[in-house]
Amino acid sequence: MNTSTIFRIEKSTPTDFVSTVAHVFHMESDRYRPGYITYSDQNALMTKEGTKTHLLAGNTTQGGYKEGVGAEARFGLITGFARISEKRVVVADHYNHCVRQINRDSNTTSIFGGQCKSIGYQDGLPGLFNYPRSVVVDQRDKSQLLITDNCNKAVRTVHVMSQAVGTFVKSDSLSGIKGITQEEKSGDLYVTAYNAVYRITYTQRTASLLSGSPGDKYGYRDSTLLNSLFQYPYELIFIAPHTLLVADDSNYKLRLVDRNSDRVTTLNARVYSLTSLLLTNNSLYVGQYKKITQYKCEYNITTVC
């Protein structure tokens, strides 16, 4: 038996969820404030529900590096974050080349991994990053985080307790690595890198091309996985065990990558400057330049014999 995913965006007008200062690189459902959605807005981390918007830490229009409480803190572009507990959020501070944490009880910030304002490639304590991008908690080993390290062409690790930095995989094929997601059952990682989607096997820690074209070849084409073309995809999320939804930024498209059918297809919606995705409560939230848009969607999985 194979499973087939049906995923559609309603043709009705989408809703503007919130206006932002710049690109929204990541969003998550907020467990600390149920019903809220947490999102990055340039140099700040925000959370919103209905008409209520709260600043967690940073300043949307002022960058830099400073530890502090709430608006006193300064970040150099937040490109990713992940919850390591209900009260602790770890963020990728892209231009400061480090990973930092925010305590939700006090909204205080502190260093979590790497050396802020120091660039390089080094494992251990405190370790070094070169433009960290996206963060997830390793579902196979929740004692560590997995972080895409853009200019080091690698997926790095940070141990939650010791804060020691390691390397999960490093490969020239991962040049321009950005988004990351993890398959729950196998633990395999899926990442975007330049104009392609790669699969990283968890046990062997090797990267292989899943879809798109490696290197500088880009374009727009729906076809089989290896014959399809992307143009600078950003985030990707699983909407079913075998199906990824990819934010294909420069093509202004939401693309479905289905491993069961060996096909890449495009949703009808044309979305400009899309960088991040969140699927929750039958709504798809799309992070764009200066806003988050909410789409109502039809979503189900059918079994095909």
pLDDT tens by residue, 97-151: 999 999 999 999 999 999 999 999 999 999 999 999 999 999 999 999 999 999 9
Res 3 pLDDT > 90: no
Q: Is 298 exposed, middle or buried (0-12, 13-18, 19+ CB in 10 A)?
A: exposed
d(CA 96, CA 63): 10
What confidence tier does 7 reach under pLDDT thresholds 50, 70, 90? confident
What confidence tier does 2 reach under pLDDT thresholds 50, 70, 90? very low
Give me the pLDDT at residue 5, please. Answer: 56
CATH topology of domain 2-304: Neuraminidase (2.120.10)
What confidence tier does 6 reach under pLDDT thresholds 50, 70, 90? low
Whether residue 143 contacts residue 166, with contact meaning beta carbons closer than 8 Å, is answered with no
Which residues have a Cβ under 8 Å from the Cβ of 47 and sit 6 or more positions away? 30, 32, 33, 36, 37, 38, 39, 53, 54, 56
Placement of tokens 């040049």 in the chain: 175
Q: Rounded to two decimals, what is the model's pTM?
A: 0.94
Res 222 pLDDT > 50: yes
Q: Quick one: average pLDDT of 182-207?
A: 96
- Number of neighbours of residue 252 by Cβ within 10 angstroms: 15
Q: What are the pLDDT digits (tens) for 179-193?
A: 999 999 999 999 999
Give me the pLDDT at residue 303, please. Answer: 35
Give me the pLDDT at residue 301, please. Answer: 47
Q: What percent of the chain has pLDDT over 90?
A: 86
